[in-house]
Amino acid sequence: MAETLTEQSEGAESSAILMIATLKRLLWRRPSLIPTLPLFIIGINLLIAIFAPLFSPHSPFDQELMDSMLPPLGWEGGEATYLLGTDFLGRDILSRIIYGARISLIVAGSVIFVGASVGSLAGIVAGYFGGFIDNLLMRIADIVLGFPLILVAIVLVVVIGGSTGNVIFIVTALVWPRFARVVRAETLSLREQDFVTLAKVAGMSSTRIMFRHILPNVFSTLIVLCTLQVGQVIVLESSLSFLGVGVPPPNPSWGIMVADGRSNLMSGWWISLTPGLAILLLVVSFNITGDWLRDRLDPRLQRF
């Protein structure tokens, strides 16, 4: 009996491995089978963030106390005017989610752009020159990475004040070392390559070598890292807003919306659930897309 179970287990394991290998081979041969749903979710969020006034049925700030705590359409008491219901102040949940997407993507896009630029520059300079410059920049990065992200962000926001601009500045200051460490590791390998040696022999300046030859070769890594970091930035911004030290109310941040529904989880579950699902879907979509890009752009995985 035990031998039979063992054989069945081994057979199931072999079948699972074969199915996974077949699926990977199919995905590589059929580029059209990319993560369509995650990309669709990201595209929809970008679209409604850019054209929020066109998609929003109401103003995210308008309060209709007579219509407060209305459930989503389809539930008892729900109205077609408010598809996802209203909060305790009578504000339309759908409109606030739409404008919340704009806030989350603006913060994430700004942080990733500035953080990737600063971190990439620091990583390339540290990896190319080495020595004292490398030690100085990497020790600064290690110090920043050593602090608890949420705790430091809360302290800094409390000290300098909560606003969208301050949140972007603080999160960027905490994120750039992640880019610096990865780019430095890539640069340490690239600077020993023949094309860099030939560029030095040809008399090219260090600045030109770094930006003309090294930067393009780490660009694919940067794309993957940026995609993976977007989800973390969205979660961090939402967490700060949830704790009341992020984007200040009445701005419709998803974190603020989740916090607004904490005291009404039984009677108004939709107030926290819908923005929570929005955060979940967008973050998971970016993570899946980042993993797919990493597999596609990593030449070491081309054999699968």
Phi/psi for 184 (5° steps) reads -60, -45
Query: Is 75 in a helix, a strand, or coil?
Result: strand
pTM for this structure?
Answer: 0.80
Query: Is 147 in a helix, a strand, or coil?
Result: coil
Q: State residue 291's pLDDT score.
A: 81
Q: Per-residue pLDDT tens for 211-226?
A: 888 888 888 888 888 9
* Token pair in block for residue 119: 């971190």
Q: Per-residue pLDDT tens for 226-250?
A: 988 998 899 888 888 888 888 888 8
Q: State residue 31's pLDDT score.
A: 52
Q: Check if the beta carbon of residue 226 is closer than 8 Å to that of residue 289.
A: no
Alpha-carbon distance 270 to 267, whole Å? 9
Average pLDDT, the chain: 82
Q: Check if the beta carbon of residue 158 is closer than 8 Å to that of residue 219.
A: no
Q: CA dist 221 to 74, 161, 227, 277, Å? A: 46, 34, 10, 29
Which residue is listed with tokens 């389809």? Answer: 74
Which residue is listed with tokens 């973390």? Answer: 232
Q: Per-residue pLDDT tens for 246-298?
A: 888 888 889 889 988 887 878 888 898 999 999 999 999 998 888 888 777 76
pLDDT band of 23, cuts 50, 70, 90 = very low
Output the CA angle 235-185-106, nearest 5 degrees: 25
